[in-house]
A and B are shown apart, each in its own frame.
Chain A
Amino acid sequence: MSDPLLKVRDLKIGATVYPPGEKPHDIEIVHGVSFDLQPGKVLGLIGESGAGKSTIGLASMAYGRGGVKITGGEVWVNGRDILKTSLKDIRALRGGEVTYVSQSAAASFNPAKKIMDQVVEAAVEQKKFSRKQAEARARELFAKLGLPDPDNIGDRYPHQVSGGQLQRCMTALALCPEPDLVVFDEPTTALDVTTQIDVLMAIKEAIRDTGVAALYITHDLAVVAQVSDEIMVLRMGDMVEFGSTDQIINNPQKEYTQALVSVRSIDHEEKQPTPEPVLSVQGITARYKGLNFDVLHNVNVDLHPGQTLAVVGESGSGKSTLARVITGLLPPRDGDIVFAGRTLSPSLAGRTREDLRELQMIYQMADVAMNPRQTVGTIIGRPLEFYFNMRGAEKRKRIVELLDEIELGEKFMDRYPAELSGGQKQRVCIARSLAAKPKMIICDEVTSALDPLVADGILKLLLDLQKIEDVAYLFITHDLATVRAISDSIAVMYQGRVVRYGPKSQVLSPPFDDYTDLLLSSVPEMHLGWLEEVVAHRKMESAGN
């Protein structure tokens, strides 16, 4: 075996934390991680938030973000320990031998400078190429990465290209100086799923063609399975498992890895529609004040009692607007909302207390959905007080019951939201909506801000509660895996229209319309070679046309 390009030994990383009401203090966030990366190979770093994967990635450039400091160990790049070299040598390494692609290209590009100036800057600065050579190479990379008009796109400013294009420009920026190693830090996480697949393929081909080595950091095992040769699973700053991609995906050894691989394998049998829907959305057309175009066009969907309707679409599809119309926050221009047999007033002000009680909502960001100055007891108790006039011991008893239902228990009663984890916060929000004894709950992307295993727990809880409470869910999401796991019927939305609607089994079976086909085939699947299959399939189809 040749000498490794990157050799990390017993890497320890610390950070200063500022907990509320306590003195700032140092903690260790990576506890002695070791690994090797051979030239030209791709290593996937995978883990949930707080696993330390980005921190390890940046350590390979001897960089600590914010208050993060490398406290021990060795990081060898091309045969020298970069933690022991001078700042000048580190600067020669950064942008030359090792480069970086961040999650948000939109924030990582300087808004005041043209794209080309920023793409070639490192290559010129590190004296790898002359300005002219670097620009030629950048244009080549733009073309290779599938950017439109590769000869001129560099003359634009960052805000003048789309998010997916800018992410590809960032990849060009990283590849331009012909580095030995590129650190990809969640490069496709912020993108829509149909955009993600193009960027992913572009990155993969660019890595293959240039022969560069890469650290690929992500929380999505299905994504990393497509691009990496080896995978390292991290959890809370420790390495859990290291192996070839094939071994990690098909034969995981550790329990935690097995859990990550099997995530979203919830079994949920589709229920049959009932004669009388609890919610009937009839011909809804809506637009926001001050805009001169509709964001929803003639939307018709039904939701049956005790069942789940998943509304799925990418950003800008109008799925969240639909929720605002149903709750009465945005009165529609046309159409009716029929709920429990009665036509609801289009605006919130015109709805009765009973209407409001029976139709509850859970939000994506549990952090901001709860008043930080109220305890869990107050948050869950308020609907009991407000709708059922419960007081004292009776109210307390009911709060404890609800806390038990969401698997938290009485001891959480006096805690503040800031003292809860992300999953616990979302559970409290669920309890608050259940407290109203609703017929239906709108769940707006309730799991998308959570780590996969935590999200899984929330989905299971929602399904269990549906059986007990017989409540219907309108489940808004962009994540098709979630849709498969939880829904009875599905509405696919695209540019404000419902393009496909029906029972789950029907919506997810061919023949598909173009958009649903694109959407479904873009969701990364956890088997090797999926990306090539999809891309080959698409090429064949477009050739056929």
Chain B
Amino acid sequence: MHPIIKLVSQRIALGLLLLFGASALIFGLTEALPGDAAQAVLGQAATPESLANLREEMGLDRPALTRYVEWLGGILQGDLGTSLTNKLDIAESVGKRLGNTLFLAFWAALISVPLAILLGLLAVRYRNRWPDKLISAVTLTTISIPEFLIGYVLVYFIAVKLGWFSPLAMINDSMSIWQKLSAIALPVIVLTMVVLAHMMRMTRAAILNVMQSAYIETAELKGLNNFKIIYRHAFPNAIAPIVNVVMLNLAYLVVGVVVVEVVFVYPGMGQYLVDHVTKRDVPVVLACGVIFAAIYIGLNMVADIVAILANPRLRHPK
């Protein structure tokens, strides 16, 4: 077997294993900690008898392992259970919200990825000169402020003071794509800013690392101009680290979405999760936790696979 196929399949197997482990960890956390769904429904003041009754009714008195296997089996068949608070099917509620979240994340990624690579190249091109220092100072500031605060700063200055865009990002099916895009403009900008800073800094470091290689010196001593040096010699070697950076930041974006959705009251997964954490709705929290973990693990896996595929030593073995 070609070594690259072996490595990639090993990485995929590891991803599946992690996914399984993560589901067990999330489920285990809800089991190991004091309090359970019955307690959550009845509150702290419930009598032991009523608690015991409700537990029996909800099937919580059965062994944890049995319930875990049932729960996992359900998820694999698309059944995420029912919500405690509104008795609705979770899969149905999640379906639409997940779409909304991915819609938001997609546009943020579409803007931030090319911009981050461009700014990263610019910072390397003007290394230690003013464009690099300016980019570095601005990104350091955005990294130093939590997402939700960047959100409110933008709302205050752009939506309220300037009157552009709406401070809330409500969308529904009856809206046209342009109306939707206008509605999510601010959250997309916030997410872009947050993820851009990290991605640009990491891209800059990745390109610098390649530019310091001896083969770049060789290219320079061949009399190539800067464009050819970057295009022919730096770029083929920088693809893997840059793709890696992009994937890691997309994973980060998925988490950033949670907070930004709350700020803009956007009907996505993040807001759904936070709402139900506050209501202590355990089945919903479990379902959302597993979905977020799966996206995160998946993107990290893609990052590693790209790194394997881009390695010439693995692609062309001896």
List the B side residues contacting A91 at CB < 8 Å.
Answer: 223-225
With A91-B223, A95-B221, A96-B223 in contact, is A107–B214 under 8 Å at CB? yes
Question: Which of A5-13, A108-116, A481-489 lies at the interface with chain B?
Answer: A108-116
Question: Which of B259-267, B293-301, B310-318 lies at the interface with chain A?
Answer: B310-318
Measured CB to CB, the closest approach of chain A to B85, in angstroms, equals 55
List the B side residues contacting A93 at CB < 8 Å.
Answer: 223
Q: Would A125 and B223 count as touching, CB distance under 8 A? A: yes
**Assembly CA distance A122 to B232 (angstroms):** 13
Measured CB to CB, the closest approach of chain A to B318, in angstroms, equals 5
**Assembly CA distance A156 to B313 (angstroms):** 11
> How many residues of B are counted as interface, with CB atoms below 8 angstroms from the partner's CB atoms?
21
Residue B6 CB within 8 A of the other chain: no
User: Considering only CB atoms, which chain A residue lies closest to B234 in the complex?
Assistant: A110
Q: Would A110 and B236 count as touching, CB distance under 8 A? A: yes
| Residues from 78 to 101 in A contacting B, C-beta threshold 8 Å | 90-96, 99-100
| Residues from 293 to 347 in A contacting B, C-beta threshold 8 Å | none
Q: Would B318 and A92 count as touching, CB distance under 8 A? A: no
Measured CB to CB, the closest approach of chain A to B99, in angstroms, equals 39
| Residues from 197 to 223 in B contacting A, C-beta threshold 8 Å | 213-215, 217-223
Q: Would A92 and B223 count as touching, CB distance under 8 A? A: yes
**Assembly CA distance A93 to B222 (angstroms):** 9
Residue A63 CB within 8 A of the other chain: yes
How many interface contacts (CB-CB < 8 Å) are there between A and B? Answer: 75
Other-chain residue from B213, B215, B316 in contact with A157 (beta carbon distance below 8 A):
B316
Measured CB to CB, the closest approach of chain B to A184, in angstroms, equals 13
With A157-B316, A159-B312, A160-B316 in contact, is A108–B215 under 8 Å at CB? yes
Q: Would A126 and B223 count as touching, CB distance under 8 A? A: yes
> How many residues of A are counted as interface, with CB atoms below 8 angstroms from the partner's CB atoms?
31
List the A side residues contacting B220 at CB < 8 Å.
Answer: 63, 94
With A104-B214, A111-B237 in contact, is A95–B222 under 8 Å at CB? yes
Q: Would A157 and B312 count as touching, CB distance under 8 A? A: yes
Other-chain residue from B215, B224, B312, B316 in contact with A95 (beta carbon distance below 8 A):
B224
List the B side residues contacting A109 at CB < 8 Å.
Answer: 215, 218
**Assembly CA distance A133 to B224 (angstroms):** 20
List the A side residues contacting B233 at CB < 8 Å.
Answer: 110, 113
Which among B213, B221, B228 has the greatest number of chain A C-beta atoms within 10 A?
B221
Q: Would B236 and A113 count as touching, CB distance under 8 A? A: yes
Q: Would A65 and B217 count as touching, CB distance under 8 A? A: yes
Q: A residues within 8 Å of B by Cβ? A: 61, 63, 65, 90-96, 99-100, 102, 104, 107-113, 118, 121-122, 125-126, 156-157, 159-160, 173
4 tightest Cβ-Cβ pairs between the two chains A and B:
A95-B222, A94-B223, A107-B214, A95-B223
Inter-chain pairs besides A91-B224, A121-B232, A173-B218, 9 sampled, C-beta below 8 Å:
A90-B223, A94-B221, A109-B215, A110-B215, A118-B218, A122-B223, A125-B228, A157-B312, A157-B316
Q: List 26 A-B contacts (CB under 8 A).
A: A63-B220, A65-B217, A91-B223, A92-B223, A94-B222, A95-B221, A95-B224, A99-B221, A100-B218, A104-B214, A107-B214, A107-B215, A108-B214, A108-B215, A108-B217, A108-B218, A109-B218, A111-B312, A113-B232, A113-B233, A121-B222, A125-B223, A126-B223, A157-B313, A159-B313, A160-B318
